[in-house]
Amino acid sequence: MPYIYRYDNGRFTQFEKAVVREQPLTIMANGVELATFMCTPQKLDYLTVGFLAFEGIIQGPEAIRDLDVDPENGVVEVELTTEPVRPQKRIFTSGCGMGLTFTLRTSHYPPLRQDLTLTPQQIFPLMQRLFEGATMYQASRGIHAAALSDGEQMLLLSEDVGRHNALDKILGEALMKGIRTEGCVLLTTGRISSEMLRKTAFMGAPIAISRTSPTTLSIEAAKRLGITMIGYVRRSSFNVYTHPERLLYQVEDGA
């Protein structure tokens, strides 16, 4: 860990402090470079599989014949069973770590099922478990975390300098371990922007919970797709931006 200097109450002190690792990752599919973006060099196999699935390049892990991770050089070589179709249009996302996607379309996703419900009292321990499991966040405070939950227990948890990368890792790990994401709850420490909402819909998660706020585009899409979006979760409060019918509650008029 590097030494840093902290100024507090009129004086400097020196101490060791954990700092988030960041490096470029290049994904090669059948010898073709698909993308290079910044990430935290952990779970690179899951990150790659999730990225390929989100972008429609693979339908599942059965499309991958071989996957080789070179963490030293930041390269993942993927051998697919068919030749990849390289998208022509790149869209750089609003997330940390210079993320990218090839599509932001959500119109082709059907509205999600309505049978998953939570009580307000379930929201707080879920977010608490996210922070408790995010060990790199606890050490550095400079990284995003995302988790998949069944509403009671955490199923998967990942961290990355890019909030969208953290979701890619969640999907990739779920695919490689055969864990269903449909009907689950997604939690994130980052903002739920339009690309994050698209990934939520792709995974079939009808409830998305964040410690921060959504954007106008993500709210519009969440309304259309039937996704309950919850933000600004604090110790005893949170905001519900769309589809509050999934929460078992009683509304009182606010001031």
**Residue 65 in tokens:** 């014949």
- Residue linked to tokens 């996703």: 109
CB 52 within 8 A of CB 61: no
What length is written for the chain?
255
- HSE (CB half, 13 Å, CA atoms) of 192? 34
* Residue of 34, 96, 127, 247 with catalytic role: 96
Spatial distance between the Cα atoms of 243 and 247, rounded to a whole number of angstroms: 9
Catalytic annotation present for 184: no
**Residue 106 in tokens:** 């959500």
C-alpha R_g of the chain: 19
Spatial distance between the Cα atoms of 4 and 157, rounded to a whole number of angstroms: 29
- Residue linked to tokens 């014949």: 65
- Is residue 200 helix, strand or coil? helix
Which residues are known to be catalytic?
96
